[in-house]
């Protein structure tokens, strides 16, 4: 499991390490790892190291010192290094001295580097790039390696409110920070350099592919279609029959058990998925271990009555789409539940539920809703944020935004519902479904736009891929 630590948590862990080691040792450890990552990237993008040109944009903090020490190491490897000092009167003096001794040059303009180090701000940085830094960054055409985090991106929220760095690689020290999973598009590939921090498990985590593959329900020798989990789906309508097909299809694909469908899309569902037990009346649905309700199901009085009936049970219930619209108007339906409830809003639905946008701090916003309502919340996005009422957070960086397409959420709901019915805890089911959904989107897209139908078709290969990673 990956752990992510806030800026304050990292600073607290750094303090005893700095006190225990000779002065400058932690910085030189960081610089050694940074230089090694730059060498690797130079070999990848420029075909070698000797004679290549690296530019460093140096700010006033310790990140500037890390980069200057790394620049000195790169000079010894035969790299031509230029440093642009944004604040010449406030620069890490020991790092600059080491850099100059190694033959590094200080310049007033970078001259066609093969790669640039962003050492403008570090964990203490807040807000967008200042005008001078923004101008220098805007003129860069070479790949950028960010030191600790891309400057202009908030370390704890990943938020960007103005000019900021887009990095090809981010080299961070001691621990991963929330920015590395919340703003993966800005960070590029993230490299973690250990420096000896002693860290307890964090409250913000991410599942690895191996972990998702290992926890995915697999039928045992004594299992049958009932013991593997039966999921009920209330989705679709005369207006949106496709939502039923997608949601039921995802549930069917994600489980080896059984799917029961209730709704007006019965005939259309059976045309696509004849293995599903389908009816138009909730009273005829039969027993299930978890319910999914909402995708395309409507918001009229009948839909509200059905939602109320399901939430009155002692079964896990996932509420999505139209169901969230109804819950926003009747929050007491979920606030009073003792059974597990999962809400899966996108940003607009989140705002309807709470009256406010989840931005800029999506983790804090998701935590607050989960705690206030006593539910598990999955906030959709490229970086999906999942929070439990106890404050634990699981984040999944999809690695792309290919899944941002109509009907994609219906597929996610069906997958998640199947995992709930199989007995996984809500936050674990949500994290596993989000990861498999992201892998499926990547497989379906293969670098080109994708719609929900091919994404659904890629769910089974995605699960197979995750399980083979064990």
Q: Is 118 annotated as a binding-site member? A: yes
Residues of the chain short of pLDDT 70, as ranges, are 469-470
Q: Is 410 annotated as a binding-site member? A: yes
One domain, residues 6 and 115 = yes
Which residues fall within 8 angstroms of residue 63, CB to CB, at 6 or more apart?
Answer: 119, 120, 121, 122, 147, 148
Q: Is 93 annotated as a binding-site member? A: no
pLDDT at 425: 97
One domain, residues 175 and 308 = no
Q: Is 431 annotated as a binding-site member? A: no
Q: Is 312 annotated as a binding-site member? A: no
One domain, residues 64 and 153 = yes
Q: How many beta carbons lie within 10 A of that of residue 465, not counting itself?
A: 17
One domain, residues 229 and 158 = no
Q: Does residue 334 have a cis bond before it (omega within 30 degrees)?
A: no
One domain, residues 348 and 234 = yes
Q: Is 382 annotated as a binding-site member? A: yes
Q: Is 47 annotated as a binding-site member? A: no
Q: Is 8 annotated as a binding-site member? A: no
Q: Is 64 annotated as a binding-site member? A: yes
- pTM of the predicted model, to two decimals? 0.95
One domain, residues 170 and 54 = yes
How many domains does the chain fold into? 2
> What radius of gyration, in Å, describes the C-alpha atoms of the chain?
25
Q: With contact defined as beta carbons under 8 Å apart, do 23 and 29 qualify?
A: no
Domain edge (last residue) among 156, 173, 202: 202
Domain edge (last residue) among 178, 202, 226: 202
Write down the H helix ranges in 312-394: 322-329, 332-335, 347-354, 362-373
pLDDT at 470: 58
Q: Is 243 annotated as a binding-site member? A: yes
Q: What is the CATH number of the domain that holds 283?
A: 3.40.1190.20
Nearest CA to 235 out of 316, 320, 319, 296 is that of: 296
One domain, residues 242 and 349 = yes
One domain, residues 276 and 367 = yes
Q: With contact defined as beta carbons under 8 Å apart, do 385 and 221 qualify?
A: no
pLDDT at 447: 85
First-to-final CA distance of the chain:
13
CA angle 32, 36, 39 (to 5 degrees): 140
Q: Is 152 annotated as a binding-site member? A: no
Domain edge (last residue) among 180, 202, 224: 202
Q: How many beta carbons lie within 10 A of that of residue 185, not counting itself?
A: 18
Q: Is 380 annotated as a binding-site member? A: yes
CA dihedral sign, ordered 118, 119, 123, 124 = negative
Q: Is 305 annotated as a binding-site member? A: no
Give strand pairing partners of 278.
261
Q: Is 65 annotated as a binding-site member? A: yes
Residue 261: both structure tokens together: 């469908």
Q: Is 323 annotated as a binding-site member? A: no
Q: Is 124 annotated as a binding-site member? A: yes
Q: Is 357 annotated as a binding-site member? A: no
Q: Is 229 annotated as a binding-site member? A: no
One domain, residues 174 and 61 = yes
One domain, residues 188 and 80 = yes
Q: With contact defined as beta carbons under 8 Å apart, do 434 and 244 qualify?
A: no
Q: Is 346 annotated as a binding-site member? A: yes
Q: How far apart are CA 131 and CA 137, in angstroms?
A: 10
Segments forming the whole domain that contains residue 245: 209-468
Q: How far apart are CA 277 and CA 231, in angstroms?
A: 11
Q: Is 224 annotated as a binding-site member? A: no
């Amino acid at each position: 499991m990956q752990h992510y630590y806030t800026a304050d948590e990292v600073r607290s862990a750094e303090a005893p390490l700095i006190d225990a080691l000779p002065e400058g040792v932690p910085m030189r450890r960081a610089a050694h790892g940074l230089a090694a990552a730059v060498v690797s990237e130079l070999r990848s993008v420029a075909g070698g190291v000797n004679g290549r040109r690296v530019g460093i944009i140096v700010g006033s903090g310790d990140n500037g010192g890390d980069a200057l020490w790394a620049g000195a190491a790169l000079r010894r490897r035969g790299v031509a290094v230029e440093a642009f000092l944004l604040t010449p009167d406030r620069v890490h003096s020991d790092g600059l001295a080491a850099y100059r001794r190694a033959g590094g040059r200080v310049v007033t303009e970078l001259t066609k580097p093969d790669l640039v180090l962003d050492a403008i701000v570090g964990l203490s940085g807040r807000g967008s790039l200042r005008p001078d830094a923004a101008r220098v960054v805007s003129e860069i055409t070479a790949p950028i390696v960010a030191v600790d985090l891309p400057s202009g991106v908030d370390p704890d929220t990943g938020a960007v409110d103005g000019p900021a760095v887009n990095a090809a690689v981010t080299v961070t020290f001691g621990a991963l920070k929330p920015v590395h999973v919340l703003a993966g598009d800005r960070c590029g590939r993230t490299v973690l350099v250990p420096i000896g921090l002693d860290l307890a498990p964090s409250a913000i985590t991410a599942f690895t592919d191996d972990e998702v593959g290992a926890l995915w329900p697999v039928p045992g020798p004594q299992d049958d279609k009932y013991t593997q989990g039966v999921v009920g789906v209330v989705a679709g309508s005369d207006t949106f029959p496709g939502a039923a097909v997608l949601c039921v299809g995802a549930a069917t694909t994600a489980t080896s058990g059984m799917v029961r469908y209730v709704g007006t899309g019965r005939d259309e569902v059976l045309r696509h998925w004849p293995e599903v037990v389908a009816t138009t009346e909730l009273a005829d649905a039969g027993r299930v271990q978890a319910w999914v309700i909402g995708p395309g199901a409507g918001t009229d009085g009948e839909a509200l009555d059905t939602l109320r009936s399901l939430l009155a049970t002692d079964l896990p219930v996932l509420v999505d789409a139209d169901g969230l619209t109804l819950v926003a108007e009747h929050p007491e339906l979920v606030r009073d539940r003792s059974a597990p409830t999962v809400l899966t809003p996108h940003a607009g639905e989140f705002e309807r539920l709470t009256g406010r946008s989840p931005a800029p701090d999506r983790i804090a916003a998701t935590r607050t809703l989960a705690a206030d309502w006593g539910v598990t919340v999955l906030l959709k996005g490229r970086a999906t944020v999942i929070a439990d009422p106890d404050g634990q957070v699981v984040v999944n960086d999809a690695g792309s935004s290919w899944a941002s397409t109509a009907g994609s959420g219906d597929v996610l709901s069906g997958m998640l519902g199947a995992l709930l019915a199989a007995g996984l805890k809500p936050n674990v089911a949500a994290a596993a479904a989000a990861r498999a959904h992201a892998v499926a989107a990547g497989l379906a897209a293969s670098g080109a736009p994708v719609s929900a139908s091919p994404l659904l078709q890629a769910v089974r290969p995605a699960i197979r891929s995750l399980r083979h990673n064990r």
